[in-house]
Amino acid sequence: MDAVVQNIYDYSSEIGKMLNGAVKEELKKRLADSFLVAYGAREADPIRGERNALLPSTGKHNSSIYFTDQRAESSIAAMLNGSMTRYLDFNDTYLSKEALHPSDNFPPLVALAESLGKKGKDLLEAAALSYSVICGLSDAVSIRDRGWDHVTYISISTAAGLAYLGNLESKKFENCISIGINNNISLRQTRAGELSMWKGLTASNASRNSVFAYYLAESGVTGPSDVFTGEMGFFKQVSGKFTLHLDMNRILKTMIKNYPVEYHAMSAVESCESLHSSLKGDIKNIEVETFSVADRIIIKDPEKKRPKTKETADHSMPYLIAYTLLYGRPGPESYSPEHLNDKRILALIDKMKFTVSERFDQLYPEHLPFRVEIKTSSEEVENEIIDPKGHHRNPFTWDDILQKGRSMMSEASTREIVTAVKTIENRDISEIMEILADVHP
């Protein structure tokens, strides 16, 4: 067996013993959060486009589509549910050598768990494995600067969780990961220049492919040997050699989003929201202190100064600073064409200066620093945030989850979802799907 896959397989055999109460509680929060943010995206244009393209669908193995009474072939359900989960850029984040969204693993795991008649206990254990794998990969090596997108890691982590969920024996476990990753290396161009709808859909496509890989592997189809360590394997072609250390306590360092923005802008938005209602006079200039990774991902590109799409705007620190200073807390509605063409926002962007500091580079990724100095016609103000709300050093509580949910659905539906997830261990996944099908705006 490939050495990396062997490591994952050996680790998976201990998951049930290692999943402690603190980790389980945080996994439940992230599962509930993933359902809530998926609901907020259910009528977004690309989700409508996917439904038009992919439904109706039926196959040998079928799963529910969130918030409907419809079912689809399981990989298609994983794609649709995963796209809803990811599209608003509102689900959880892990920051390390690679920044990514571990809860992208939940929709495919939920789809397979429902199809196999599994209970919540099984889902949580599979999720603990997927989270351990993807966070371990994030800590091991960055593939971003090599031109590959982080959703490449989703193909690996999801395949591992699915193989565990389906109780695949060692060779089929290896084939599931091998088939899942071999043809699913994703280009970083997804997040370069003007961003398209695909930015919010590419992770769900990766997980769809892993569900497909699971069913093939389970049926005895074999994949390439030594997919990581081989002559033309992942190490040689994609990542370079690395050692994968697996530790589910990394789940405690994943972070739930307080705003639907790219995570490196979280402190910026929180800081500017705190200043929004108290600023006096006309803003003359804005000086921002930031760190290198934020500059590369959400500041430096010319498109970030004049975003033309929702996907670019929620990945633009200049846009998000300007919007928040002018209008307060951003939400899914903050990326409408009206706002993207708002002359006040564009004028404010032109008054910004960004400086990357060594001090902040040393704080990242353990912290998420941001500092702003604003001069107006009446005053000079400054604000600095190191760990925003939702950061693992300033984590979300269940009350925070409830408040986030109420911004997208009714109080009753929010509480029903949260209550169900809190007690998910002995519930059938099909029961959770029934609750989602009955959500009210």
Write out the chain's pLDDT in tens, 441 residues: 999 999 999 999 999 999 999 999 999 999 999 999 999 999 999 999 999 999 999 999 999 999 999 999 999 999 999 999 999 999 999 999 999 999 999 999 999 999 999 999 999 999 999 999 999 999 999 999 999 999 999 999 999 999 999 999 999 999 999 999 999 999 999 999 999 999 999 999 999 999 999 999 999 999 999 999 999 999 999 999 999 999 999 999 999 999 999 999 999 999 999 999 999 999 999 999 999 999 999 999 999 999 999 999 999 999 999 999 999 999 999 999 999 999 999 999 999 999 999 999 999 999 999 999 999 999 999 999 999 999 999 999 999 999 999 999 999 999 999 999 999 998 999 999 999 999 988
Q: How far apart are CA 100 and CA 87, in angstroms?
A: 14
Q: How far apart are CA 34 and CA 277, in angstroms?
A: 31
The label of the residue with tokens 């007690």 reads 423
Cβ neighbour number for residue 16 with a 10 Å cutoff:
13
The yes/no answer on whether domain 3-258+407-437 falls in CATH 1.10.4100.10 is: yes
Annotated domain spans of the chain: 3-258+407-437, 263-385
Q: At what angle do helices 151-165 and 170-182 cross, to 10 degrees?
A: 160
CA-nearest of 416, 425, 428, 427 to 32 is 416
> Is residue 234 a contact partner of residue 369, using CB atoms and an 8 Å limit?
no
Its CATH class, for the domain covering 263-385, is: alpha beta
From the centroid of its chain, how far is CA 173? Answer: 25
